[in-house]
Amino acid sequence: MHFQIQFVFVIILSISISPILSETSFAQQKMSPHYQWKKFADPDTLICKQGHLLLQKNDENPACVMPSTYLKLIDRGYGNYDSSIMSKRPEMMNHLMQNITSNESLMYHWHDMLQRNPSMMTQTMNNWIIQMKENPEFLKNMLGPMTSDPKLREKMIQTMKNHPHMENSLKGHSKWMNSVHQPMMGSGMGQGMMPKTECEWCPDYQMSTSHEHSKKFANSDKMMDVIYDMWINSGISQDMHTLMLEDPSHMALMSEHMMKPMLDAIMDDHELRVKIIDLMLEHHDFMNSIQHDNPTGG
């Protein structure tokens, strides 16, 4: 009986305290970071508004800023990336990673490190294969820019030519061989067979962006420290590469820098190789390029 009374008391107490904690947290969000710091003097208790990141400035005062501002302040030496602060705030970390993966100048260095590290490259591509099999949209996100953009498409065709497994698969695919020997779609006799249409499965993306957050940074050493700190953290690296797969615009950027290792890894896998062929057959602009160039040699 005594135990039951205690148990009921704990439940009542927790119910009564919970709204108080919630109200305290909500009220704390309205306080400036500096005021919170003076009141609580504990970085683990500091709260920022939704979408803002917590930055500990060099004068040891905290600030809540937007992700793009966060990177600018680090670049200009007003603060430093603190993995201990961000690791305790997954939502903030995700906002920061999304901002970084959309920044062309920062991602150039990430891609460069990836290409300089064969072990990391292999590990990343193996993980991509697993994710693409689980989520076919990731394969489309990668293939969409490659097949849609004329320059990337040309590089893709050349990569396919030099991949023995892919070439053999294409030559053994009757629908593919029939298609590449037909007149170009949307012109002449081909118009009656299959009218040219937009790619139904291609994701929306931009090859490049002129947004302010994509401009180069003044202090590359500081930004490289941020990138390297994330690079050596296996969990963050995994999350970064998943964000890349989710973003067709990033896949377009990545394809410019390192199409061969990306595409080779996918074409090495029989299941994904078949899916690539099926998707290419649905992409009329790409098939027109194949029919015009006829990379399989007939």
pLDDT in tens, 143-184: 999 999 999 999 999 999 999 899 899 999 999 998 887 765
Distance CA 298, CA 280 (A): 17
Q: What is the mean pLDDT of the chain?
A: 80
Does the structure show a pLDDT above 90 at 29?
no
Q: How many CB atoms lie within 10 A of CB 7?
A: 10
Contact 108, 101 (CB under 8 A): no
Q: For position 3, what pLDDT does the model report?
A: 45
Q: For position 21, what pLDDT does the model report?
A: 35
Distance CA 272, CA 266 (A): 6
Tell me the pLDDT band of 49, cut-offs 50, 70 and 90.
confident
Contact 67, 96 (CB under 8 A): yes
3-state secondary structure of 57: strand
Distance CA 134, CA 213 (A): 32
Contact 37, 61 (CB under 8 A): yes
> Which residues, 6 or more positions from 104, have their beta carbon under 8 angstroms from its beta carbon?
208, 209, 214, 253
**Tokens matching residue 191:** 């118009």
Does the structure show a pLDDT above 90 at 7?
no
Between the CA of residue 172 and those of 89, 177, 274, what are the distances in Å?
52, 8, 11
Does the structure show a pLDDT above 50 at 136?
yes
